[in-house]
Structure 1
Amino acid sequence: MSYFDRTHLVFSGDFLSDVSTVNNDPAHYNNATFKPEYQIPREQGSPIMNGWWNPVGGANFIFQNCNVQMVSMNDGNIKDDPTGDFVVGAFITGPSGRNTGKMVDLDPQEQGTSELWAIKFRLVTCANELLFEGDLKPTPFRDLQYRQQDGITSNGQPLGGVWTSVLTNVKWGERANISPFLQELKAKTKGNKLSINLNAYGYYYNHNDGRFAMGRVLGTIGPWYESDPDLFPACRRLYGIYNAGTDEKPKVYFGSTNFVVDQDWKSLRIDFGMSFPISNAVGTVSMTENLYLAVSKSSLSDGVATSEVFLLEHTFEMIGQVKYQTGDHWLNKTGGIMSFDVGPEHMSLLANHQLVLLHLNDDGDYQLVARESVDGYYLRADNFVLRMDADSTAAVTLYAYQYGKPLSNTNITVAMEAPTPCTPVSDKNPISYIPGINFPQDGIKFSPGATGDLNGKTSIGLLAQRIFKPRDYIDGQIYLFDYQFEGQEPDPAFGVESIYVHLRDYFPVPAQPKWEDIEETMIQFANLYPIMSKYIVDLADPHAVAARATILRFAFSQDINDPLYMPVTRDLSEGKRLTILKWLDNPIMPTGAPTTKQPPQKGCPPESLRAESVPTYNRLQKLVAAKQAQNINLDSTPKIFKK
């Protein structure tokens, strides 16, 4: 059950994420067409993007003003006051003397899975006494969905996302031994890990309200069990089907909501913290509609649509009303986690029937807002974002469930998506052509299918081949793999999920590297990370780089899980990294003599493949636009439902 366990704590507060945005535009990677103004922030409201909204960001991720709001004990007792347990009110911090960690995209052409790296999570008392600490396993966000109804123009981003992970190498402070909650948590958890979930929303692209580059976070921590995935909870899910926007610009609230059915305690727990609509960027709830959870007696397969779907009362069994509270207190205090007692008949029905979220409208009709998947199937990859070097191998672990139970001996199919077309230079894109992805198709060999074990667990093997600059001016290539149950059509409520791989270019290390061997890479770093040139060293100048060889050698030598690792985007091939280190040991300055370089592979797929690549291309474009709050529905929605 992971963070859903009856034993869990809830914290809330802010996070600061000063991501660098020069590298959000793939065309900015082209050294030949880069301009100095791409390092200047875009003026708010201007159509001229320049370096987007934060070109001098350092990619830091920092918890700010985060405190424990409440704890739940195994017996169901809730403590939300320090007099019940002094852990309530404790602070979430990072290690002393350095930032908490980093937030980075996988690639400029895959920005929908931004990851947290190198985060040290510490829970301390007001006197800075350690209660526990652990290392957050790197994790991408998932489940991007609409959250804000109003106030969107203030912060500029209506979507929220979820990071789920584990804290590893957990160390407990002495004071933890006198907290009843922490004693219970420590006794329950396994493998020296803790499960953690971070629901984020209300991020500020705009310089308003003193919250630029800040967002809100609702955190939940619980025990981790041996059978649990690391990067998502073993649970059941609701999927939103009502589109409150338009077909062109949809707005689906309650898009993805995790829940568990607890047979031992005859209860249901649901995480509305990841999906509940809010009226502003700090988590204020203003909606007053009547919402209910129920169990459908028959199978439902409705997909996302602007039309309303109604259920007759005899077609479902009511579990209970969702008793949320208006204002900014409820979400921030409880994390949106709600528990419902479930009677024996309803528990029996829930074992093999879909949970539904209903809205009771003014006419007394029950509108279907969200439903569980058809037949309760749930398949998800754990480590679904990977960085690979040529000639390396990797395994992606997948888990299959049906109505929350492991689905044994299940066949899974995996397919590489089609190559996407190049975007040519045009009036809308005057900088440079944008290369396609998923090409060459033989860049990664993979298992096209697998069969799960008795616990519903399986793995897909990947073998990286040698590729040579298929995207010309962007290192490596992005590959997407779709997976699903064999013989099943995608559920119309949520479609298919994907595995994202960045395969780095093959780059043999020269015996005696010259500046010309690393020049292209170093100039690109200087262009894309102006914070380095402004405050540390001009990476485009070989003499300046040589003068700072010691500090640069230190940065390029760090483990990838270290916050000081360079480059921060973690997209540099091992061959190029070793070449840079070798040059720093013996800087050979440019001579002007030409160097022999591997010619790039063609970055655009053959014409015969382009037609089938259009859906993939469009989906990626929408993901990038959604993350950057471009071309999505920014209209206020004071009332989600029509009645």
Structure 2
Amino acid sequence: MSVLETPRVLFKGTMSWDPIVTNNLAPAYDEANATTVFNVAETVKAYRAAAIANVASSVNWNPDGTHRSAFFSTCVSGVDVGNGVSTDDPLIGAPVSLLGMLVDAEPYGVFTSQLFFDAMSFGIAGGCQVKAPRSQRVTSRQINFGRNLTYRYKAGVASVVWQTSFATADGLKLYPHDSPALQALAQAMAEDPTVIGLTLRWNSYRTLYFDSADVTQNPKLAQELADKLKLGGFQPNPARSDVVGVLGLWRQGEPANEPGDRTLLNAENPKGPSIGTASARLTPTSLTLDLANSISETGVDLTKQDLGPLTAVAVAADGTTVLAQLGTFAYADYDKDAYDKSSGIVVLPLDADAAQAAADNDIQLRGADGTVYLAEAAIRAYPLTPNLYIDEGDNTQVQVQVYDRGLPAGGGIEVTMVPVNPSTPVMGSVTTDPSGLAAFPLTGVQGQVEGYVLLTGPDPTPPPGGIDPQTTTYLYVRTLPADDNIAAMAPTWANVHEFVLSNWQAMAPCMDNWLDLGSEAQVKSYGPLIRKLTDPGYFEAFRYMPVTRDLSKGSRTLLYAFLDGGKKTLKAAAPHKPSNLELSRAMRR
């Protein structure tokens, strides 16, 4: 299933992350009310100065961020059409392009990162290429906090799985030309009715800050950035991660937003060198393991820890008795070179007896001394929308798909949504329909951000630590406040600026490069464009405003009332359009 079957396309490179992080802490931002927190009589200028003051202390490492995240120096590194990784395909070396907006649905935490984007591509127009318009946003899953403990700064210790899927029905196009890999993908999409598009999955790791692999330099570099910011001007400060990834088939019933397949968990999840959660795909002839997010590194040079030979086994219900050896692979099969070559994917050939033993029994990954590093969790419940946004007063449904060993489960399975916040009522249990789908009714009662752990079976025991992204499945719901009091205000510039626009003017200095949110004239002149970019129907688009996706219904109502009034009263003179002669002479002055 998914990217763990062939054909698949592998890629490797680097990704930049440039979020504004001023809204990550309660003193500066109220995530429930979706507002910037101004101190008494504080101005936009003073708020920005306070954000800069927090740079040197590493509280705020990027007050001038744009939220833009992009692949760069990222290219196709290999293909696999069923005979192992090959570098002979004409697609090898072709660029992989993605530009998205990094936004946390829950700004105070790290479990809800997502990328809003419009399209991405593999290859070059006119040659071998995949053109993939967005079907849905990219979602982060399975954060591994023990990935690289030598770089202890912000997300530097962690790695993350990112996934989205592209539906053929949404305009996905392949131009194979002479690429055997793209030809095989195109053939499967054209001839197999169970293939509905392509799935993209990648792993980001070794996130470096201030362009330095030496974490001891970060305090000095942070101070240098703060000094530059005090002088004025625009100073974005993106972090950068290494990435490896894979593009493969997306079949009916497979999760679009997170790894499905069969899931192997590190139930203990120690925050130290270990093996993070992995995915596995079983066929009658092979077991494919996705270890992209699993084996930790020993340093910033990305040398993989050597755990010796690792063996996959099928075990009985007691979790101890080995029913079959599924295969062993050596350190050379998961070291840095192997990881770069295969994007962390390891394939073990199986005989018929071993495949049969693993079909209906749990799979484990063990060390040579018998240590169980990973153990399968057969039943998994995944939200169809991992990060759900609703308005206060809205009624909707949370839909959850249950899987049994990587396949959609049947009916009669109890699913419970347990809130992370103990003061929030449990959603109750819902039983899956014959397709394994459960639906929970949800009403937006008040502005808040709430996480829920998804549990299956009768009388489930909530995990004591709440969400563990390595072991639990979960979703977040962000309810934006109604702000009826703001909607009822007179649509004056003073009200619009104080209660709507000043939030983002203060928090996002980068906006000054395009639109001064403190200028009545500019806001009015850009009115039609502002209406387009803030329209709820534009929410998934790359250029939606505000990028933080926290514009309440009441704030939008007041903003639109102001813009409507502006269009009636504002009669700006048409700007003078210089002639070519004037332009030519201006160049000489």
- TM-score bin, normalised by smaller chain: 0.7 to 0.9
Counterpart secondary structure, 2:11 = strand
Task: For 1:409, give the aligned amino acid.
Answer: G
Secondary structure of 2:209's match? coil
Cα 1:37–1:540 change in 2 (3 A) is: same
TM-aligned CA deviation for residue 90 of structure 1: 1.7
Q: Does 2:66 match 1:37?
A: no
Gaps of 5+ in 2: 30-36, 215-236, 568-589
Please show how residues 253-402 of structure 1 align to structure 2 within 5 Å. 253-263=274-284, 266-281=285-300, 283-287=302-306, 289-300=308-319, 315=322, 317-325=324-332, 328-360=336-368, 365-373=369-377, 376-402=378-404
Change in CA separation of 1:526 and 1:379 when aligned onto 2, cut-off 3 Å: same
**In the superposition, relative to structure 1, how do residues 281 and 521 fare at CA in structure 2: closer, same or farther (>3 Å)?**
farther
Q: How does 1:389-538 map to 2 (within 5 A)?
A: 389-415=391-417, 417=419, 419=421, 448-465=428-445, 467=446, 476-487=447-458, 489-490=460-461, 496-508=472-484, 509-510=487-488, 513-518=491-496, 519-533=498-512, 535-538=513-516
Q: Residue type matched to 1:556 in 2?
A: T
Distance change (3 Å), C-alpha of 1:284 and 1:562: same
TM-score under structure 2 length normalisation: 0.79
Q: CA deviation at 1:165?
A: 1.4
How far residue 230 of structure 1 moved from its aligned partner, in angstroms, is 1.5
1:203 to 194, 197, 207: 207
| Displacement after TM superposition at 1:213 (Å) | 0.9
1:228-262 deviations in whole A, cap 9, x for unaligned?
22112431111114565xxxxx3363231111111
Distance 1:513 1:456, change over 3 A: same
Is residue 324–residue 330 contact of structure 1 (8 Å, CA) maintained in 2? no
TM-superposed CA distance for 1:222, in Å, is 0.9
For the 8 Å contact 1:148–1:280, the answer to whether it is kept is: no
**Would you say the 8 A contact 1:236–1:378 is kept in 2?**
no
Percent identity (aligned): 20
Tell me by how many angstroms 1:527 deviates: 1.9
Deviation of 1:150 (Å): 5.4
Whether contact under 8 Å (1:400, 1:410) holds in the other structure is: no
Given candidates 213, 217, 225, the residue that maps to 2:251 is 225
Q: 2 CA distance for matches of 1:70 and 1:89? A: 9
Q: Is the 8 A contact 2:420 2:453 kept in 1?
A: no
| Aligned-residue RMSD, C-alpha | 3.1
Given the superposition, is the C-alpha separation of residues 389 and 164 from structure 1 closer, same or farther in structure 2, using an over 3 Å criterion?
Answer: same
Matched residue type, 1:351: A
SS at structure 2 position matched to 1:56: coil
Residue 524 (structure 2) pairs with residue 539 (structure 1): no
Superposed CA offset, 1:62-83 (max 9, x none):
111111111111xx2235223x
Residues 341 and 79 of structure 1: is their aligned pair in 2 closer, same or farther, counting only changes over 3 Å?
closer
Q: How does 1:129-168 map to 2 (within 5 A)?
A: 129=127, 131-136=129-134, 137-149=136-148, 151-153=150-152, 157-168=156-167
Change (3 A) 1:191 1:235: closer
Moved more, 32-41 or 376-385: 32-41
* Alignment correspondent of 1:623: none
One of 241, 253, 256 as aligned partner of 1:215: 241
8 A Cα contact 2:481 2:552, kept in partner: yes
Counterparts of residues 9-24 of structure 1 (less than 5 Å): 9-24=9-24
Q: How far is 1:543 from its partner?
A: 5.5
State the 1:353 CA deviation. Answer: 2.1
Once the two structures are superposed, residues 248-304 of structure 1 have per-residue CA deviations (whole angstroms, 9 ceiling, x without a partner) of xx33632311111113xx21111001212123457442525222212223423xxxx
Measured in 2, the distance between the counterparts of 1:568 and 1:529 equals 10
Secondary structure in 2 aligned to 1:202? Answer: strand
Contact 1:161 1:199 in 2 (8 A): yes
User: Structure 1 residues 184, 41: CA separation in 2 closer, same or farther (over 3 Å shift)?
Assistant: farther
CA 1:289 to 1:315, structure 2 compared with 1: closer, same or farther past 3 Å? same
Corresponding residue number in structure 1 for 2:186 = 186
Residue 447 of structure 1, CA deviation = 6.3
Among candidates 518, 540, 554, match of residue 575 of structure 1: 554
Once residues 122 and 500 of structure 2 are traced to their aligned partners in structure 1, the CA distance between those partners, rounded to angstroms, is 40
Please identify, of 145-154 and 479-488, the stretch whose mean Cα deviation from structure 2 is larger: 145-154
CA contact (8 A) 1:381 1:397 kept: yes
Cα displacement (A) at 1:512: 5.2
Kept after mapping to 2: 8 A contact 1:117/1:561: yes
Name the structure 2 match of 1:172. 173
How far did residue 395 of structure 1 move? Answer: 2.8
Q: Secondary structure of the equivalent of 2:292?
A: helix
In structure 2, how many angstroms separate the alpha carbons of the residues matched to 1:343 and 1:191?
A: 27
Aligned residue number for residue 80 of structure 1: 86
Q: Which amino acid is 2:493 matched to?
A: W
Corresponding pairs, count: 516
Q: Pick which of 376-385 and 489-498 moved more.
A: 489-498
What SS does structure 1 have at the residue aligned with 2:563? helix
Residue 332 of structure 1 aligns to a residue in which SS?
Answer: helix
Asked whether the equivalents of residues 155 and 281 of structure 1 are also in contact (C-alpha less than 8 Å), the reply is no
Flag the 1:60–1:231 CA change in 2: closer, same or farther, 3 A: same
Checking the alignment, whether the CA contact within 8 Å between 1:21 and 1:53 is kept in structure 2 is yes
- Relative to structure 1, is the Cα distance of residues 198 and 41 closer, same or farther in structure 2, using a 3 angstrom cutoff? farther
Deviates most, 287-296 or 277-286? 277-286
